[in-house]
C-alpha cells in the first residue's frame, strides 16, 4: 500500500542500486587515488589532454559513452556511429589558464551502411611571449622579439556500427608542436619543433538493458617524440566507462525528460588513476543542465554546464557553455557552437 501510494515503479530500485554501487566505488577509488601521486610529468604535448567540447567539459570530462557525432572524436571515435544526423559540425573555444586559448572543431558525415567519417582539428593560441637572451648589461638580458609557440592536431576518423549493439571507431591524427627557437652560443639557431602520427581507438557496447552501455577508449597512442636528445611519449590515456539514461527506468516522468549519467575510470600515462563522473538533465531535448567532477585531477574538479538546442528550417542548432573550477587558478570557460543536418 505504501508503494502504491507513492506510485513507485519497481525499476526505480534498479536505478537506486546502480547509483549506490557506483557512488560506493567512487568513494573507495577516490580515497585510494588521493593516497599517492605517481608518474607525474612523464609525457609531452599536454594540449592533447584538454577537454575540446563544452558539453563534455560540463559533465566533468565523462564523455566516453554519451558523446555522439563530431565531438566524440576527441573522446571516443566510436560515438560517431551513434549520430542521428547525416552531417554534424561543432566548434569550441576554450579560455584556458594564463590567458591561453584553445580552438577545436570537428565534422562528421554518415555514409549509409559503410559507416561514418570525420575530420577534427585542435589548435592553440599562447598569446604574446617575449623572447630574451642573456647579455652583459645592466638588465642582464636583451629582448629578441616575440617567440612563436604553437600546437596543432589534425585528425581523420572512421566509425561503424558492427551490430545494433556494438560500435567501433578509430582516428589517425598528425600532431605537432613548435616551442620557438634556441640561440646556440656560436650564433646559430635551433628550431624546437616536432611532429608525427598518433592514434585513437574506442568501442561502445549496449548489452540490451534499455540505454545502459559500457565501453572503452584509447587516446594518443604513438611512438616517442624527441627534442634534441630528450625522448618523451604523448599523453597516452586509457578510459573505461559506463552510462545510462536514468529516465529509462522512470517512465512515469514521460519522454520530455532525460537524465544521463556516466562514470569513467581514467588511466593516464603521466599521472595516477583518475575518476570522472557527469550528469546531464535535458528537457524536451531543447534545454540542458550539466554537472560533473574530476577526482584526483591536478587542477580541475567541479564543473557545470548549460546547453540549448533548437531546430530551424531542418537545421538543428546547438549552443553549449561550461564552467570548470581550476583550483588556485582562474576558472576555465568554454563555449561550443554546433549544427546538425
CA distance 264 to 152: 26
CA distance 212 to 330: 36
Identify the residue with better confidence: 149 or 337: 337
Structural domains in the chain, CATH included, are 2-340 (2.40.160.40)
3-state SS, residue 287: strand
Decide: 307 and 291 in contact? Cβ < 8 Å.
Answer: no
For the CA atoms of the chain, what is the radius of gyration?
Answer: 22
Span 295-321, pLDDT tens digits? 998 889 999 999 999 998 889 999 999
Does residue 153 carry a pLDDT above 80? yes
Taking the alpha carbons of 315, 57, 324, 42 in that order, is the dihedral positive or negative?
Answer: negative
Q: Cell numbers at residue 255, please?
A: 519522454
Give me the pLDDT at residue 81, please: 94
CB atoms within 10 A of CB 156: 14
| Residue 38 pLDDT grade (very low, low, confident, very high; cuts 50, 70, 90) | low
Decide: 55 and 71 in contact? Cβ < 8 Å.
Answer: yes
CA distance 60 to 264: 10
**Percent over 70 (pLDDT), the chain:** 87
Q: Cell numbers at residue 159, please?
A: 566509425
Provide the whole-model pTM. Answer: 0.85
Span 224-283, pLDDT tens digits? 998 877 889 999 999 999 999 999 888 777 788 999 999 999 999 988 899 999 999 999
Amino acid at each position: 500500500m505504501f508503494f502504491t501510494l507513492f506510485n513507485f515503479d519497481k525499476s526505480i530500485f534498479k536505478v537506486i542500486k546502480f547509483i549506490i554501487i557506483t557512488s560506493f566505488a567512487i568513494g573507495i577509488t577516490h580515497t585510494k587515488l588521493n593516497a599517492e601521486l605517481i608518474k607525474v610529468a612523464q609525457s609531452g604535448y599536454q594540449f592533447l589532454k584538454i577537454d575540446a567540447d563544452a558539453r563534455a567539459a560540463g559533465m566533468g570530462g565523462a564523455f566516453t559513452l554519451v558523446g555522439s557525432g563530431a565531438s566524440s572524436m576527441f573522446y571516443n571515435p566510436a560515438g560517431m556511429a551513434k549520430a542521428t544526423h547525416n552531417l554534424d559540425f561543432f566548434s569550441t573555444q576554450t579560455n584556458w589558464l594564463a590567458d591561453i586559448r584553445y580552438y577545436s572543431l570537428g565534422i562528421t558525415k554518415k555514409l549509409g551502411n559503410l559507416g561514418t567519417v570525420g575530420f577534427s582539428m585542435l589548435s592553440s593560441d599562447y598569446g604574446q611571449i617575449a623572447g630574451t637572451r642573456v647579455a652583459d648589461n645592466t638588465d642582464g638580458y636583451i629582448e629578441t622579439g616575440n617567440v612563436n609557440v604553437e600546437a596543432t592536431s589534425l585528425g581523420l576518423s572512421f566509425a561503424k556500427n558492427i551490430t545494433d549493439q556494438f560500435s567501433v571507431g578509430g582516428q589517425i591524427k598528425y600532431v605537432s608542436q613548435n616551442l620557438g627557437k634556441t640561440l646556440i652560443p656560436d650564433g646559430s639557431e635551433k628550431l624546437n619543433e616536432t611532429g608525427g602520427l598518433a592514434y585513437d581507438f574506442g568501442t561502445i557496447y549496449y548489452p540490451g538493458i534499455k540505454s545502459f552501455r559500457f565501453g572503452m577508449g584509447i587516446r594518443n597512442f604513438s611512438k616517442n617524440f624527441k627534442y634534441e636528445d630528450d625522448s618523451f611519449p604523448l599523453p597516452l590515456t586509457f578510459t573505461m566507462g559506463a552510462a545510462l539514461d536514468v529516465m529509462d527506468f522512470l517512465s512515469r516522468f514521460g519522454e520530455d525528460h532525460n537524465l544521463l549519467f556516466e562514470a569513467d575510470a581514467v588511466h593516464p600515462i603521466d599521472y595516477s588513476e583518475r575518476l570522472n563522473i557527469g550528469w546531464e538533465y535535458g528537457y524536451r531535448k531543447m534545454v540542458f543542465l550539466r554537472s560533473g567532477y574530476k577526482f584526483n585531477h591536478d587542477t580541475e574538479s567541479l564543473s557545470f554546464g548549460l546547453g540549448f538546442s533548437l531546430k530551424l528550417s531542418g537545421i538543428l542548432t546547438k549552443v553549449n557553455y561550461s564552467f570548470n573550477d581550476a583550483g588556485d587558478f582562474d576558472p576555465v570557460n568554454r563555449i561550443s557552437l554546433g549544427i546538425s543536418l
